[in-house]
A and B are shown apart, each in its own frame.
Chain A
Amino acid sequence: MTSTGFSTVAGGIGSCKNSSNLQRRPLISNRPFITQFGTSIRFPTSRDKVRLGVSCRSAGAQPNIVPANGGKERLSKVPISNIRNFCIIAHIDHGKSTLADKLLQLTGTVQTRDMKEQFLDNMDLERERGITIKLQAARMRYLLGNEPYCLNLIDTPGHVDFSYEVSRSLAACEGALLVVDASQGVEAQTLANVYLALENNLQIIPVLNKIDLPGAEPARIAQEIEEIIGLDCSEAIHCSAKDGIGITEILTAIVKKVPPPQENADKPLRALIFDSYYDSYRGVIVYFRIIDGTLKKGDKIYFMASEKEYFADEIGVLSPGQMPVGELFAGEVGYLSASIRSVADARVGDTITHFGKKAHSSLPGYEEATPMVFCGLFPIDADQFPELRDALQKLQLNDAALKFEPESSSAMGFGFRCGFLGLLHMEIVQERLEREYNLNLITTAPSVVYRVNRLNSDTIECSNPSFLPEPGMRKSIEEPYVKIDLLTPKDYIGPLMELGHERRGLFKEMNYITENRATITYELPLAEMVGDFFDQLKSRSKGYASMEYNFIGYRESDLVRLDIQINGEPVEPLATIVHRDKAYAVGRALTQKLKELIPRQMFKVPIQACIGAKVIASEALSAIRKDVLSKCYGGDITRKKKLLKKQAEGKKRMKAIGKVDVPQEAFMAVLRLEKEVI
């Protein structure tokens, strides 16, 4: 769960198995974002017929799934000892969504026959309101031995960009289902989230899914889990979410193994926000888990980190739609609406308490969002600048991690420098701006935040190559490093080590976790990751490797600013910060690309890559020799004029760099190239 509107992305960069379906660049526009509950989310646009609904694959009648009647009474209270809060940890495609759907069906939370309809209604309504649909939590009622239990399933995003949000979701649970594909085995992202769950003292229930498939090897995978994670798999549940096998066993295991929440209803209110989103009609909707105390409708509440106070106009539970209730007790999971203006006021990880009776301390683990990746966003059509600003402001209402400030450049005009949690976050924001707000954008190559130690011994942070202090002014540059864990079949160890080496990685260790699979650990600059690292990882391992990374700190590097000059004029947006060893190759690639894309002018145009005053790569565009329409057929000038007007029109789409007209496409291609080669 995240504070953003697109939090329920399972898998993603660190865990995507099928790279052809999830190519990250360019974003495939109709790529659905899959929630854990099998809800396909495509960002709604007017021209899209948005497919929002629980996927049908689970909706078919299954003879062995008999929905319990308990579903209808799921709002009724149970003793806290009968509450179970859990999440599902799974790699994308390992069956999390299908399993979640089956749990909802079997508990009668959603009727089999209603499943599609009910959700569609809900979604249509939300779509009209222009918000992004999420299914973040579901309260289920399950009867075991005539005893009613309240089970709360809390969704977790699967992407490393949102690891903080994942940790907050986990902190709202006492247990987790670890779902592993019985033929595929454990993946890097799963591993990362399991470790996070273990750190949060969650009870983990291993589930081997897809045992009905011919390639399933539950025994081998169980052994793999034991070896890698050290989790006892003797009682691992064999399940096929698709065929409804093992679902009852899972529900029973949740009741029996996941501990109930602590009985803290008497303490002052403390509720952990694990998600929030902005609804343009009701303001921010906050999802929370009450750790201590009780919350009643109408209470005046106080957000301890943002120090904002509001009245809880509406509180309720998610089951899976929003169902208002009068009060919620410690251990319960719910939502509230309080006319909150921006998600920044109710950030994920913040603690809700009563304004009149504040808790002594907030819940642990709150962190401010720190952007790690930056890029410039410029409207292709300068007239769209105000629209871009409005759109970013609107997105920020729903995404406290998104940062932006105005930026202007001679070549690109007015735009914004934007900060993101990571690459996926960046791409989602770009995609939403383009799809939902119909903006045409140029994005500069993503950059990280460098720390520049200046000669006067102060340190400045710099995320924009144009603002890097001159060489004479700086003592050293530090760049952010990440520790990256690759999990790969042994056949691809060689190619992946090559990749690590190319990306200035520092090899740390390699371990065979099973006979055929190994983890490789590198420390490498974040800047090397923001390009096409993930695409390379997937292509060099034929899609089999997965990865996970953590920020580990700043290190000094021999970095330089590479400038591009066209006809002697520096082109600011094309400037980049690169490692000195790579500057030559990058400079050559960029100058060659520009030579390809800039139309020939009436004079010779040098295109150079420079470090300071030193030219390290140079190309020259030769002058056009001939561009003439000679014949004038019977005085019919209309066609000729049309051609010339088109030619003149083409010039409008170009940016003048000094005397040279550079087409927008050339900028975009070079920026794309920078993402690849740097």
Chain B
Amino acid sequence: MLRILQPHFPKRLLCLPPLSNPQTICTNASSTTAVALPLPANSAAYVHLPFCRKRCHYCDFTIVALGSTTNSDSDPRISNYTKLLLREIHATEPNSDSDPLLKTIFFGGGTPSLVPPHLISDILDSLRSKFGISSDAEISIEMDPGTFDASKLDELLRLGINRVSLGVQAFQEELLRVCGRSHGLSEVEEAIGIMKSADGLANWSLDLISSLPNQSLEMWEESLTCAVAAQPNHISVYDLQVEQGTKFGYLYTPGEFPLPTVNQSADFYKKAAGNLPREGYEHYEISSYCKSGFECKHNQTYWQNRPFHAFGLGAASYINRTRFSRPKRMKEYTNYVENLENGSVADASSASVDLKDLAMDVVMLSLRTARGLDISSFVGKFGWDLTASLCKAFEPYVESGHVIGLDVKRKALPRSDFELGRDSDTQLAFIRLSDPHGFLLSNELIAIAFRSMSP
């Protein structure tokens, strides 16, 4: 059985500032060992804007394809959706008094840049009146080449948006076509030009996808070089995931021609992990690189397993330790919003949360980051035994170089010091996956961690 309370914890429920929903966290084994962990403050909001010109061939996300003929500035589907979104925000429970103003807002999609700025403005107003927005908040928006011009970007920046994530994906015309992107290389170059020349845009990111069909190592190097030349503050590198139900899923099998072999795509990953840091981009998360200080704050919310609001079609929120995904179909989402307004949405957050499940979330998210898993915090939340069995499971992989133990000063520990002592001599302060070998095998390593936590 999992032991949650260690001797230095008082053997009683840890009572915390009032929660809007009293919540029990328990292990599978016994309800008598329930504890209440402090809930971190909720200061993030994700807003889903699902509209795209058309679906990219690799995409299985919740989107609404508009077609290439309509004028997105006056498309009633967008304005109707925005109205619904505003209703959802309005009907949502406000934060408790203890929660601060929103510190990050992320407009994701879809292609949010298809949404007219005045509608974005409405959404921001609504969020501001509901939760308040901190004056130094990071407000990000995803934009695709070919869907905006300099003046549109300008308008967005004037609304307070201060971070743009540009979906470039590749710097080769043929690869863009293979992906079914609705833009070509010239639009990419145009978009980069707009980013570079925009006044008041101090923070933007560029997205790339590796392991595309027919992509060669040369092409990938070229894309990396072009990305660096565009001088964004942040680069995201996603390894292509062939999802069922997508055109790629129908056409291709991972590791088989025309997709690169597993070894080739491992090489792509290593190429990025090798080249980008040389250009000053720090590899701070499995698929994220940034200039110093330009980590995506909103995504940090995810990696640190902190709560966040979410609004819109198919959007997933994490409030009071409960993950909730909104309906992915417009009709059902509309019903959901109606129910939310008349108060008939069941509050799922009062359900008890399994402590091990929570620990798994923390492990899978924190191991994605270069910072890694904070041992003393983990022991405090989930107990010594669980942490020790995790460390034990990782021992062989410390030896093989996939896992690294770090001390409080973030200095790598020799293998012999990779152990969780009960006394203060323990030097182990963080566990992280090595870059690139550990990151490359993160699924396997996280699965091993999961197994050690639920034997």
Co-complex (A, B): yes
Interface residues, chain A, CB within 8 Å of chain B? 602-603, 624-638, 640-641, 643-645, 647-648, 650-652, 659
B402 adjacent to A626 (CB under 8 Å): no
| C-alpha gap A637/B301 in the complex (Å) | 12
B265 adjacent to A626 (CB under 8 Å): yes
| C-alpha gap A632/B288 in the complex (Å) | 11
Query: What's the least CB distance linking A336 to chain B, in Å?
Result: 54
A652 adjacent to B443 (CB under 8 Å): no
Q: Given A624-B444, A635-B316, A652-B451, A629 and B241 touching (CB < 8 A)?
A: yes
Residue B447 is within 8 A (CB to CB) of chain A in the complex: yes
| C-alpha gap A636/B324 in the complex (Å) | 9
Residue B308 is within 8 A (CB to CB) of chain A in the complex: yes
B238 adjacent to A631 (CB under 8 Å): yes
| Cβ < 8 Å to A, chain B residues 246-270 | 262-263, 265-266, 269
B447 adjacent to A644 (CB under 8 Å): yes
Residue B194 is within 8 A (CB to CB) of chain A in the complex: no
Residue B9 is within 8 A (CB to CB) of chain A in the complex: no
Q: Given A625-B262, A631-B241, A651 and B316 touching (CB < 8 A)?
A: no
Interface residues, chain B, CB within 8 Å of chain A? 46, 48, 61, 106, 108, 237-239, 241, 262-263, 265-266, 269, 286-287, 299, 301-302, 308, 310, 315-316, 318, 323, 325, 360-361, 364-365, 368, 396-397, 400, 402, 439-451, 454
Report A-chain residues with C-beta under 8 Å of the C-beta of B400. 602-603
Identify B302's interface contact among A632, A648, A650, CB under 8 A: A632
A626 adjacent to B266 (CB under 8 Å): yes
A632 adjacent to B299 (CB under 8 Å): yes
Report B-chain residues with C-beta under 8 Å of the C-beta of A633. 61, 108
Identify A628's interface contact among B315, B365, B441, B454, CB under 8 A: B441
Identify A637's interface contact among B46, B263, B323, CB under 8 A: B323
Identify B241's interface contact among A630, A635, A648, CB under 8 A: A630
Query: What's the least CB distance linking B392 to chain A, in Å?
Result: 13
Query: What's the least CB distance linking B160 to chain A, in Å?
Result: 20
Report A-chain residues with C-beta under 8 Å of the C-beta of B308. 635
Report A-chain residues with C-beta under 8 Å of the C-beta of B449. 648
Q: Given A634-B315, A635-B310, A645 and B440 touching (CB < 8 A)?
A: no
Q: Given A632-B302, A635-B301, A651 and B451 touching (CB < 8 A)?
A: yes
A640 adjacent to B286 (CB under 8 Å): no
Report B-chain residues with C-beta under 8 Å of the C-beta of A651. 447-448, 451
Q: Given A628-B442, A644-B446, A637 and B265 touching (CB < 8 A)?
A: no
| C-alpha gap A632/B106 in the complex (Å) | 13
Query: What's the least CB distance linking B349 to chain A, in Å?
Result: 15
A635 adjacent to B441 (CB under 8 Å): no
Report A-chain residues with C-beta under 8 Å of the C-beta of B310. 634-635
Query: Can you list 20 A-B pairs, Cβ within 8 angstroms, ordered by A?
Result: A602-B444, A625-B262, A625-B266, A626-B239, A628-B239, A628-B286, A630-B238, A630-B239, A630-B241, A633-B108, A634-B108, A635-B46, A636-B315, A637-B364, A638-B316, A644-B446, A645-B447, A647-B450, A650-B447, A659-B396
B440 adjacent to A628 (CB under 8 Å): yes
Identify A626's interface contact among B269, B287, B361, CB under 8 A: B269
Identify A635's interface contact among B263, B302, B448, CB under 8 A: B302
Report B-chain residues with C-beta under 8 Å of the C-beta of A640. 364
Report A-chain residues with C-beta under 8 Å of the C-beta of B262. 624-626
What 8 A-B pairs are tightest by C-beta distance, nearest first? A648-B450, A636-B316, A647-B447, A625-B266, A630-B287, A626-B266, A627-B443, A648-B447
Report A-chain residues with C-beta under 8 Å of the C-beta of B302. 632, 635, 637
Query: What's the least CB distance linking A248 to chain B, in Å?
Result: 69
Query: What's the least CB distance linking A96 to chain B, in Å?
Result: 54
Report A-chain residues with C-beta under 8 Å of the C-beta of B441. 602, 624, 626-628
B440 adjacent to A638 (CB under 8 Å): no
